[in-house]
Amino acid sequence: MKSYRKELWFNTSKRVEFINITREVEQAVFESGVKEGLCLVNAMHITASVFINDDEPGLHQDYKEWLESLAPHKPLSRYKHNLTGEDNGDAHLKRQVMGREVVVAITEGRLDFGPWEQIFYGEFDGQRPKRVLIKIIGE
């Protein structure tokens, strides 16, 4: 069995941002040489997410508005976490809703997606360096 590891680094210009990382993950699958296996992609920070959905701007805006209604950034005093000197209590909750990771099957050397599926990095407390782990195992 083969094993391959790669990191992607991000430093978003906005506090909340969604970035399509499908091409980078596909490149990692190619680099791994794995033809049949699994690809794990996970955010290595507790205020960021990796998720699968459609690459449609209206949907992404809906996500941002929905998440903000569930866990508004302000007032900062809303979150006990922020009493520690942080200002990202909302980002931790948004990450919990959107998830930490995705696993995609690799079939014949390619990500085995359903229609319209793409992989996204979701940032909820950006403007600083963060990373995503890609771990591929298989034959």
The boundaries of the domain holding residue 127 are 2-138
CATH code of the domain containing 16: 2.60.120.460
Q: What is the mean pLDDT of residues 96-100?
A: 97
- The pLDDT assigned to 67 comes to 98
Tell me how many domains the chain contains. 1
Reported as a single tens digit per residue, the pLDDT across 14-68 is 999 999 999 999 999 999 999 999 999 999 999 999 999 999 999 999 999 999 9
Entry pTM: 0.96
β-sheet bridge partners, residue 121: 19, 50
Q: How confident is the prediction for the chain on average, in pLDDT?
A: 98
Strand partners, 5: 135
pLDDT of residue 50: 98
- The owner of tokens 């200002």 is 87
**pLDDT confidence bin for 108, thresholds 50/70/90:** very high
